[in-house]
Amino acid sequence: MSDVILQLDSISKKFDGKDILKDFNLELHRNEFVTLLGPSGCGKSTTLRIIGGFVKPDSGRVLFDGTDITNLPPEKRNVNTVFQKYSLFPHMTVAENIAFGLKLKKKSSKYIADKIDYALKLVNMEGYGGRNPESLSGGQQQRVAIARAIVNEPEILLLDEPLGALDLKLRHDMQRELIKIKKEVGITFLYVTHDQEEALMMSDRILVMNKGIIQQEGSSKSIYDEPQNAFVADFIGESNIIDGIMVKDLLVKIQGVDIPCVDTGFGTNTPVDVVIRPEDLEVVSKEEGFLKGTVTSVIFKGAYYEIKVLSDGYEWMIQSVNPAPVGEVVGLTVLPDNIQIMHKPASDDEEVVRDE
Amino acid sequence: MSECRLKKINRRSFLASPYALWIVGFTILPLIIIFKYALTDGAGAFTWDNLLSIFSDVHIKAFWFSIEIAAGCTIICILLAYPMVLAMKNLGLGRKGLSMFVIILPMWMNFILRILAWQMILSNNGILNFLLGKLGMGPVAIANTPAAIMVGVVYDYLPYMILPIFNAIMDIDEDLIEAARDLGAGGFTVFRRVIFPLSVPGLLSGIVMVFVPSMTSFVVSDILGGGKLQLIGNVIEQEFTVGYNWNVGSGLSVTLMIFVLISMMFTVKQKSEGKESVIW
Ligand SMILES: Nc1ncnc2c1ncn2[C@@H]1O[C@H](COP(=O)(O)OP(=O)(O)OP(=O)(O)O)[C@@H](O)[C@H]1O
Ligand SMILES: [Mg+2]
């Protein structure tokens, strides 16, 4: 495809004999917002650093616009990075920080001055040009870091957990602003985070990573609605994941009860993982439910109640606008549409990693 | 309660008293004595002559020579220290590494011994000329020249330049260097625009720690200069030990002290104002 701007071609990387990336492939398209999402230590930063040129892969190629740049040093790549720790030069003012890359490119001082103004406006920091980075808040420093990268007009902007050090409120503001900036400058963004909410909200495309391989790739909606394995289901949002048996097409047995579903093609009597989102379960009277269990706790969470129901040794989590009486036996139902059936993991790389 | 606090303070100041005694006995008292000698003549009458004696021909010559040696030594130390520190950093030799030990090791050897060793190396039929001869190059007459003194002071004070610069450079966050490269800076530009400016506080400490002692030293020039080349330190020493003119000796010491204090204040002021502007 012609609008592929960057391609990682079966990249492998070991650190201290441990596989960090294994035969890793990735394609970035022009003007796309792609997010690498995965738990800590899964190799997200390593992937970015390979693209930025700070880490050499053991094998595989990095192709930029079709050209092999695997051995090109970082300063020669038309890619810029926004670091988690901002990494502003403390001995330069905000304006000097932003001008750093442009001066090296020998741009005219008029051009540089215009660019600084433009970039400061873009990140909502007009009038801060003469300030010292140390006198700025974390959020402001990160804005400057973004401006400093963007003025160089890179083809790809790499962002390694750029909002990781900010508090929740500021994160939300910055997320919206980043999307705005992205729209304005039209640069390809490769964004790293381990915050699934952030990924779901910002990205055109999400790559869910674990243990150096991509578990699933797709739009926010498809990843949330149709996780392909238990790792993705567990990592993206909260889920009930339970063993089941696909009796035949359109019928799955959970906790000894046959429940209609919409999935086909798993064969007969196949062990599977079943995923049901907490908001898709409904508490009903014990006669009406597929499953029966005792309500063990009800917690008010603001917009909904989080209800836990113990049934046959498994604690189901339910999100509901109505509370349920603790200690009572209730029934649970779910629409066939909302049951996700997944193959059992083929390798332990896909093993569910629960709340790290 | 206040009584209790009073006791505490008493106890604390009591613990500090050996230190106070030390200061009084070995710093303040000698200073007072030196000032007394500096501001009086042999008969004990007040005079400025001793302080002004720096402007006599012999003294001013020694003074300029001292400044030349000290400035030369400082510059050479700077030029040697940066490549060494950068090499150590690039080789990943951390603070606890062997290289640091190798740099500090000579500092543990006796100062006079080190200088005597250089005398043997540099003397006309010493090790240096022996090696040069083996290589088919003529003997060089370094002994008893300013060059020999320079070698001695550089060797002696180089560690005092390396250590603060090393510390300053090792404190630079690796992310900053990566950020610079990310923005298009090659190796030398990274040094010029990021590493060097951020190492300036260390550099200034190094300058103070090298310039001042190399300016006032007299042992090095005594041994490696063959006693013929006079630094201001030698002049002062001789006023005390040979000429027995303690008044002039003290006067010169005080002048030198004032000069050093002024130049240090200048450096420290620059340091607190900080940042790139200091050198550029
Ligand atoms: N230079 C290095 N030397 C040795 N091991 C390394 C190096 N860089 C990374 N690693 C290891 O590689 C693994 C993946 O690191 P990476 O930084 O890519 O993870 P990550 O997905 O970015 O995690 P996080 O969300 O915590 O930032 C980790 O186990 C880390 O310890
Ligand atoms: Mg990381």
Q: Would you say the CB of residue A194 lies under 6 angstroms from ligand 1? A: yes
Query: Average pLDDT in the A138-156 region?
Result: 91
Q: Kindly state whether B107 is in contact with chain A, defined as any CB-CB distance less than 8 angstroms.
A: no
Q: Would you say the CB of residue A41 lies under 6 angstroms from ligand 1? A: yes
Of the pLDDT bands very low, low, confident and very high (cuts 50, 70, 90), residue A245 is very high
Q: Which residues of A touch B185 (CB under 8 A)?
A: 75, 100, 104
Average pLDDT, chain A: 88
Instruction: Tell me phi and psi for residue A338, to 5 degrees.
Output: -90, 10
ipTM, two decimals, is 0.77
How buried is B27 (Cβ within 10 angstroms: 0-12 exposed, 13-18 middle, 19+ buried)? exposed
For the segment B148-163, what is each residue's pLDDT rounded down to a tens digit? 889 989 998 999 999 9
How far apart (Å, rounded) are the C-alpha atoms in residues B207 and B71? 9
In CATH terms, the fold of domain B52-276 is MetI-like fold (1.10.3720)
- Does residue B181 surpass a pLDDT of 80? yes
User: What's A323-352 look like in SS3?
Assistant: CCCCCCEEEEECCHHHCEEEECCCCHHHCC
Total-model pTM = 0.79
Dihedral sign, Cα of residue A231, residue A236, residue A242, residue A246? negative
Instruction: Write the DSSP string, A243-269.
Output: EEEEEETTEEEETTEEEE-S---S-SS
Report residue B157 as tokens.
């004070």
Query: Average pLDDT in the B64-73 region?
Result: 92
Of the pLDDT bands very low, low, confident and very high (cuts 50, 70, 90), residue B8 is low
Report residue A285 as tokens.
């009277």
The architecture CATH gives domain A4-225: 3-Layer(aba) Sandwich (3.40)
User: Which residues sit with Cβ closer than 5 angstroms to ligand 2, an ion?
Assistant: A 45
Closest-CA residue of chain B to A85: B175
Instruction: Write the DSSP string, A215-227.
Output: EEEE-HHHHHHS-
CA of A43, closest atom in ligand 1: 18
Q: Which long-range contacts (CB under 8 A, 24 or more apart) does A195-200 make?
A: A196/A37, A196/A235, A196/A236, A196/A237, A198/A35, A198/A163, A198/A171, A199/A35, A199/A37, A200/A224, A200/A236
Tell me what pLDDT residue B12 has: 66
Question: Among A26-35, A281-290, B42-51, B165-174, which stretch is predicted with the lowest mean pLDDT?
Answer: B42-51
What does DSSP say about strands A79-82 and A4-15: parallel, antiparallel, or unpaired? unpaired
Q: Kindly state whether B276 is in contact with chain A, defined as any CB-CB distance less than 8 angstroms.
A: yes
- Does residue A82 surpass a pLDDT of 60? yes
- Does residue B72 surpass a pLDDT of 60? yes
Distance from CA of A260 to the nearest CA of B (A): 55
- Does residue B279 surpass a pLDDT of 50? no
User: What's B113-138 look like in SS3?
Assistant: HHHHHHHHHHCCCCHHHHHHHHCCCC
Q: What residue's CA is closest to ligand 1, atom 25?
A: A40
Tell me what pLDDT residue A354 has: 41
Q: What Å distances lie between residue A208 and A196, A198, B44, CA to CA?
A: 9, 13, 89
CATH superfamily of the domain spanning A238-343: Nucleic acid-binding proteins (2.40.50.140)
Q: Would you say the CB of residue A43 lies under 6 angstroms from ligand 1? A: yes
How far apart (Å, rounded) are the C-alpha atoms in residues B262 and A286? 91
Residue of B174, B175, B178, B183 to mutate when probing chain A, most A C-beta within 10 A: B183
CA-based nearest residue to A143, from A159, A167, A125, A117: A125
How buried is A132 (Cβ within 10 angstroms: 0-12 exposed, 13-18 middle, 19+ buried)? middle
C-beta atoms of B182 and A104 within 8 A: no
Of the pLDDT bands very low, low, confident and very high (cuts 50, 70, 90), residue A144 is very high
How far apart (Å, rounded) are the C-alpha atoms in residues B104 and B106? 6
Report residue A345 as tokens.
């993991």
DSSP-derived secondary structure letter, B46: B
Tell me what pLDDT residue B272 has: 58
- 3-state DSSP helix/strand/coil % of chain B, to nearest 5: 80, 0, 20
What does DSSP say about strands A188-193 and A33-37: parallel, antiparallel, or unpaired? parallel
Is residue A253 a contact partner of residue A259, using CB atoms and an 8 Å limit? yes
CA-based nearest residue to A322, from A308, A297, A305, A300: A305
- Does residue A356 surpass a pLDDT of 50? no
Query: Average pLDDT in the A47-57 region?
Result: 93
- Does residue B142 surpass a pLDDT of 50? yes
Is residue B233 a contact partner of residue B218, using CB atoms and an 8 Å limit? yes
Domain ranges in chain A are: 4-225, 238-343
C-beta atoms of B176 and A101 within 8 A: no
Strands (E), chain A: 4-15, 18-29, 33-37, 59-64, 67-68, 79-82, 156-160, 188-193, 205-210, 213-218, 240-248, 251-254, 257-260, 270-276, 282-284, 291-300, 305-311, 314-320, 329-333, 340-343
Question: Among A4-18, B9-23, B58-72, B187-201, which stretch is predicted with the lowest mean pLDDT?
Answer: B9-23
Tell me what pLDDT residue B97 has: 66
If phi over 0 gives left and psi between -120 and 50 gives alpha, with beta otherwise, what is residue A88? Answer: beta
Tell me what pLDDT residue A2 has: 54
- Does residue A84 surpass a pLDDT of 90? no
How far apart (Å, rounded) are the C-alpha atoms in residues A31 and B188? 34
CA of A38, closest atom in ligand 1: 21
How buried is A145 (Cβ within 10 angstroms: 0-12 exposed, 13-18 middle, 19+ buried)? buried
Question: Among A299-303, B100-104, B233-237, which stretch is predicted with the lowest mean pLDDT?
Answer: B100-104
How far apart (Å, rounded) are the C-alpha atoms in residues A230 and A340? 10
Of the pLDDT bands very low, low, confident and very high (cuts 50, 70, 90), residue A247 is very high
Domain ranges in chain B are: 1-38, 52-276
Q: What Å distances lie between residue A28 and A46, A63, A175, A227, B101, CA to CA?
A: 16, 10, 21, 22, 49
- Does residue A353 surpass a pLDDT of 50? no
With a CB cutoff of 8 Å and minimum separation 6, the contacts of A89 are A96, A97, A100, A133, B176, B179, B180, B193, B194
- Does residue B93 surpass a pLDDT of 80? no
Q: Which residues of A touch B188 (CB under 8 A)?
A: none
Q: Which residues of A touch B280 (CB under 8 A)?
A: none
For the segment A100-121, what is each residue's pLDDT rounded down to a tens digit? 999 998 988 999 999 999 999 9
Q: Would you say the CB of residue A13 lies under 6 angstroms from ligand 1? A: no
Q: What residue's CA is closest to ligand 1, atom 22?
A: A45
How far apart (Å, rounded) are the C-alpha atoms in residues A317 and A311? 11
